[in-house]
């Protein structure tokens, strides 16, 4: 069985001990938008997200709160992580927790398979470990501490002291996979994207790979090594395996064959795990490597990577409570070139909300539907003869739809939205130039008025379809207001790759009143 035609996409699984902030939300809405797009294109789509619940970080946080690690993660997942998906309107197909039986059991199956194939051996280890990263740190990421940590070695990412660990560990023979990985990056140039991420990974692997410690014996909050109960599997290996245990690895081979391989979208901080260690583990097990890994940038607040531990964390609800989830999704996905870092500021968010959503798209939708109600008693008019200007609008729509689909193929959601926005700008200019309110005063222009309003409404039909993966709530309202729900069926069923075809909205359907899609907001203090 082949997996051609399937589109399986994942977010990283989140550490539940951090409360969700807008950086986590960013990864999730990006993946959700890509999944919604493919689903609407008719691809056999599956979106997975979840939580990474083992490891020392979780164990310590639970102890600090005087509960068992299981109680700790159960509470956080139910109180914070499930609700995040609703807050941001994420339509994931599955949610995996690494403490679930379906995961734990099949991680052991995989681990045993690696052992049986000769890729695991026992050895002694001594190195500096960062509990924040859950990683033994390479030289290049160890820096001298400052302030309270003066004189200590700290993690370059967390600025917290590293711990010297010395134990007997099981090792994975990562060092044997350098050549095969380099070959993979060469023959599949899109395996790591964007280009900057690919270059980083290639030069990292070219420096030579060391074997990887993949078990721990000084604590037990993890999945036991199947042949040695005194060890738990290294939390990153446990975590990476979620991508296959969730789709039936070890238990449902048919589903596994249908879904795998996946596209992984990750923050650039966890690129190496996904683009180096993960494909090597899969190669060792004799499984296919992922289709690709896309690394997005960081959200910066005040010039620094936003993080809870540095007290720059902003909860997604702070934004959605004021602006709504569509605006959250639109803002982060359009304002930041996907793959680059982006600075968040309330001023920028408010300005774009007002200019692009309220005045641009929202106003276009309100005035078009209002004019159809006023001049045609709420019935979408039939178009008459097209002028060059009308044809130009039709071409803009066709070009934008094609460009957006091509951009989504490259994971460039920002470019897709920019392409779609040419329709918003073109239609607003079209209405201003054609002055339907003036045409309405002249009976001889009745047919022209019908053409202009049909063109605007049909353009809005295309916008609703193309923007629904990005802004599911507002586009649904628009869809209903255009009367399209009755004549064309559900918005999510509209084939997105046909969205640029002209003349789909049927004349004669009833337009319903439309409340402002993006109402004026009270500026947060
Ligand atoms: N549990 C691991 C991932 C295991 S995947 C097999 C992990 N979890 S995390 O909760 O720390 O991070 C999850 C995702 O959130 C990562 O993609 C990370 O890049 C992203 N972000 C965390 N802070 C971020 C920003 N400030 N900006 C953008 N994304 C950031 O790592």
Site to probe by mutation for ligand 1, drawn from 13, 21, 24 as the one with most ligand atoms within 8 Å of Cβ, is 24
Q: Are 51 and 97 in contact (CB under 8 A)?
A: yes
Q: Could you tell me the pTM of the whole model?
A: 0.94
Which residues fall within 8 angstroms of residue 470, CB to CB, at 6 or more apart?
A: 33, 326, 329, 330, 333, 334, 413, 417
Q: What is the CATH number of the domain that holds 472?
A: 1.10.730.10
**57 within some domain:** no
Among residues 54, 133, 137, 477, which one is catalytic? 133
Could you give the number of structural domains in the chain? 1
Instruction: Please give the residue range of the domain that contains residue 465.
Output: 346-498
**412 within some domain:** yes
Q: Is there a cis peptide before residue 384, judged by omega within 30 degrees of 0?
A: no
**21 within some domain:** no
Is the CB of residue 133 below 6 angstroms from any atom belonging to ligand 1?
no
Residues 194-244: tens digit of each pLDDT: 999 999 999 999 999 999 999 999 899 999 999 999 999 999 999 999 999
> Going by DSSP bridges, is the β-strand pair 292-296/192-193 parallel, antiparallel, or unpaired?
parallel
Query: Has 130 been annotated as catalytic?
Result: yes
Atom of ligand 1 nearest to the CA of 18: 10
Query: Has 477 been annotated as catalytic?
Result: no
> Residue 130: phi, psi to the nearest 5?
-110, 120
CA dist., res. 140 & res. 367, Å (int): 57
Give me the long-range contacts of 372-377 (CB less than 8 A, separation at least 24): 372/453, 372/457, 372/511, 373/511, 373/513, 374/440, 375/436, 375/440, 375/449, 375/453, 376/450, 376/453
pLDDT computed for residue 139 by the predictor: 83
Instruction: Tell the residue number behind the tokens 């130039």, with chain if given.
Output: 433
Site to probe by mutation for ligand 1, drawn from 132, 270, 273 as the one with most ligand atoms within 8 Å of Cβ, is 270
Burial label for 254, CB within 10 Å (0-12, 13-18, 19+), is exposed
From ligand 1's centre to the CA of 449, what distance in Å?
52
**476 within some domain:** yes
Is the CB of residue 107 below 6 angstroms from any atom belonging to ligand 1?
no
Write out residues in the chain with pLDDT < 50, as ranges. 1-4
Among residues 103, 130, 268, 296, which one is catalytic? 130
**387 within some domain:** yes
**Two structure tokens written together for 227:** 């042949």
**254 within some domain:** no
Site to probe by mutation for ligand 1, drawn from 10, 12, 311 as the one with most ligand atoms within 8 Å of Cβ, is 12
pLDDT computed for residue 524 by the predictor: 55
Atom of ligand 1 nearest to the CA of 306: 26
**284 within some domain:** no
Query: Has 308 been annotated as catalytic?
Result: yes
> What pairs with residue 331 in β-bridges?
none
Distance of CA 361 to the CA centre of its chain: 23
Phi-psi region of 373 (alpha: psi -120 to 50; beta: other; left: phi over 0): alpha
> Going by DSSP bridges, is the β-strand pair 163-172/212-213 parallel, antiparallel, or unpaired?
antiparallel
**34 within some domain:** no
pLDDT computed for residue 308 by the predictor: 59
């Amino acid at each position: 069985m082949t997996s051609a035609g399937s589109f399986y996409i994942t977010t990283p699984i989140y550490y539940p001990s951090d409360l969700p902030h807008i950086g986590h939300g960013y990864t999730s809405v990006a993946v959700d938008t890509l999944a919604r797009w493919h689903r609407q294109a008719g691809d056999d789509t599956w979106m997975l997200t979840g939580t990474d619940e083992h490891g020392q970080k979780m164990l310590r946080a639970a102890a600090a709160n005087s509960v068992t690690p299981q109680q700790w993660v159960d509470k956080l997942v139910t109180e914070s992580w499930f609700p995040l998906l609703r807050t941001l309107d994420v339509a994931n197909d599955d949610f995996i927790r690494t403490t679930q039986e379906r995961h734990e059991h099949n991680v052991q199956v995989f681990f045993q398979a690696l052992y049986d194939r000769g890729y695991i051996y026992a050895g002694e280890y001594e190195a500096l470990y960062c509990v924040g990263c859950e990683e033994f740190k390479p030289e290049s990421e160890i820096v001298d501490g400052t302030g309270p940590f003066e004189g200590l070695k700290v993690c370059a990412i967390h600025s917290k002291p590293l711990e010297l660990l010395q134990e007997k560990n099981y090792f994975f023979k990562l060092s044997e996979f350098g050549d095969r990985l380099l070959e993979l990056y060469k023959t599949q140039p899109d395996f790591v994207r964007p280009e900057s991420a690919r270059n980083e990974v290639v030069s990292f692997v070219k420096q030579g790979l060391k074997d990887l410690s993949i078990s721990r014996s000084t604590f037990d909050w993890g999945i036991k090594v199947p042949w040695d109960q005194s060890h738990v599997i290294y939390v990153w290996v446990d975590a990476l395996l979620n991508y296959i245990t969730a789709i039936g690895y070890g238990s449902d081979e048919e589903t596994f064959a249908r879904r795998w391989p996946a596209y992984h979208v990750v923050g650039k901080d966890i690129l190496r795990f996904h683009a180096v260690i993960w494909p090597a583990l899969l190669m060792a097990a004799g499984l296919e490597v992922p289709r690709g890994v896309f690394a997005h940038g960081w959200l910066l607040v005040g010039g620094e990577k936003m993080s809870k531990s540095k007290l720059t964390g902003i909860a997604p609800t702070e934004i959605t409570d004021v602006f709504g989830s569509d605006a959250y999704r639109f803002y982060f996905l359009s304002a930041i070139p996907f793959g680059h870092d982006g600075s968040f500021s309330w001023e920028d968010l408010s300005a774009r909300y007002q200019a692009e959503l309220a005045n641009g798209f929202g106003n276009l939708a309100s005035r078009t539907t209002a004019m159809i109600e006023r001049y045609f008693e709420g019935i979408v008019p039939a178009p008459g003869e097209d002028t060059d200007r009308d044809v130009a609008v039709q071409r803009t729509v066709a070009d934008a739809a094609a460009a957006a689909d091509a951009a989504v193929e490259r994971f460039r959601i920002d470019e897709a939205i920019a392409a779609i926005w040419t329709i918003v700008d073109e239609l607003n200019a079209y209405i201003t130039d054609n002055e339907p309110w003036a045409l309405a005063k002249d009976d001889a222009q009745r047919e022209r008025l019908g053409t202009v309003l049909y063109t605007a409404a049909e353009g809005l039909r295309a916008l609703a379809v193309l923007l629904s993966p990005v802004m599911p709530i507002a586009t649904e309202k628009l869809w209903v207001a255009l009367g399209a729900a009755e004549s064309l069926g559900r918005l999510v069923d509209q084939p997105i790759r046909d969205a640029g075809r002209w003349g789909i909205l049927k004349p004669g359907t009833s337009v319903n009143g439309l409340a402002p899609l993006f109402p004026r907001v009270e500026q947060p203090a």
